[in-house]
A and B are shown apart, each in its own frame.
Chain A
């Protein structure tokens, strides 16, 4: 497409050559681990897909305790292609969180968090937390018995946190129990607050990545690596991968549309053998390891504190691993990363199979 008049109009007002120069000046090193660079791009693409499908469903969803479940059924059964967009939103969320974890562990094991990229890690880690809350808040919007029970357990778990637990629980629920107030709060989080925070954090994350450039694994740092321009070489590769990911998400959405459960009933007992979403399974299994009481103290509180401590340690790794920041080998943190990864995988598998 060539529009010389439009180009001239823009060039008169904006420094287009400067923008082109920035795009041309961005180079990406080529090496045997560079496949990990694409996981961030895939996650970004899936986030965009979630925004799009979420906006489409927001036209028809009714965030009211009496109509939420009915509106979901109407989206799926009455709207043209409604079932497809709901399924696409569901599978897009699963894939986005999956790739976030892949991106996180890739960054961890390649030590891409090391000085001076600590803030890239920090923004990415907060984005993961927000995405998980995205998942939980979106899950409740279905207003079926499984979602209801899952949110009751999750908000109840937050309540076990000492000192601030009660406040967090009350703030999330907006009531004593999970009610219509909770539904409305989670809807506000899901469609307004979290998207805004996510956009801001994605912007910051990309800005930091742009500022520091792509990280090279410590083992390859001393090698002379070939660099390729981001635009168009890497961008075209990104496009091809995004197309494949889109194909996979669409295929999953068509072949495995998620079932709609029974409408939530606050007075009914929770359904048997209930399981949370797969990314909460490792947490649930960890909590199950703790007895009800430890040395006279509440076992659940100790479990929540231990898990929070482990997550905090994980979050602070860039600030604790000073050796890799100095360009030295830090096998301890590699093993810690491998331990976290294996623990996550094993506990998720155990939770899935039990």
Chain B
């Protein structure tokens, strides 16, 4: 009795019209849904590659800070020379041949 009841219920659920509707829905929505869900990777997906990128960024910033420190030291030296007036050309200075 119970088996027949389940069979009837399944028959009703899976009648041809419904199956066709479900199939059509899957056919039409799957590619669209997949395209919408599929995100194009704009950053290395492998964790190791991502780690290398972040590590390189830290090294890059260290290089930038290092360069700024060097340029700042050089600039201070130039300003010190300018304050002393040592950068000005002395027109009366004897030429050394």
Nearest-CB residue, chain A, relative to B44: A83
A250 touches B71 (CB 8 A): no
B64 CB within 8 Å of chain A: yes
- Cβ of B75: which chain A residues have Cβ within 8 Å of it? 232-233, 236-237
Q: How far is the CA of A244 from the CA of B72 in the complex (A)?
A: 13
Nearest-CB residue, chain A, relative to B57: A254
* Total cross-chain contacts (CB, 8 A): 56
A207 CB within 8 Å of chain B: no
Q: How far is the CB of A28 from chain B (nearest CB, A)?
A: 14
- Cβ of A84: which chain B residues have Cβ within 8 Å of it? 53
Nearest-CB residue, chain A, relative to B60: A250
A308 CB within 8 Å of chain B: no
Q: How far is the CA of A243 from the CA of B54 in the complex (A)?
A: 19
With an 8 Å Cβ cutoff, the count of chain A residues facing the other chain is 26
- Cβ of B43: which chain A residues have Cβ within 8 Å of it? 83, 257
Nearest-CB residue, chain B, relative to A261: B40
Q: Name the interface residues of A215-234: CB closer than 8 Å to any CB of B.
A: 229, 232-233
A236 touches B42 (CB 8 A): no
A243 touches B74 (CB 8 A): no
B78 touches A73 (CB 8 A): no
Taken residue by residue from 245 to 266, chain A's Cβ proximity to chain B (1 for < 8 Å, 0 otherwise) reads as 0110011001001111010000
B36 CB within 8 Å of chain A: yes
Question: Could you list 8 further interchain pairs (A-B, Cβ under 8 angstroms) beyond the known A229-B82, A247-B64, A250-B57?
Answer: A83-B42, A86-B42, A233-B82, A243-B64, A243-B68, A247-B61, A250-B60, A254-B57
Which residues of B does A touch, CB under 8 Å?
35-36, 39-44, 53-54, 57, 60-61, 64, 67-68, 71-72, 74-75, 78-79, 82
Which residues of A does B touch, CB under 8 Å?
73, 76-77, 83-84, 86-87, 229, 232-233, 236-237, 239-240, 243-244, 246-247, 250-251, 254, 257-260, 262
Q: List 29 A-B contacts (CB under 8 A).
A: A73-B40, A76-B42, A77-B41, A83-B42, A83-B44, A84-B53, A86-B42, A232-B75, A233-B75, A233-B78, A233-B79, A233-B82, A236-B71, A236-B74, A236-B75, A240-B68, A240-B71, A240-B72, A243-B68, A244-B68, A250-B57, A250-B60, A251-B57, A254-B53, A254-B57, A257-B42, A257-B43, A259-B39, A262-B35
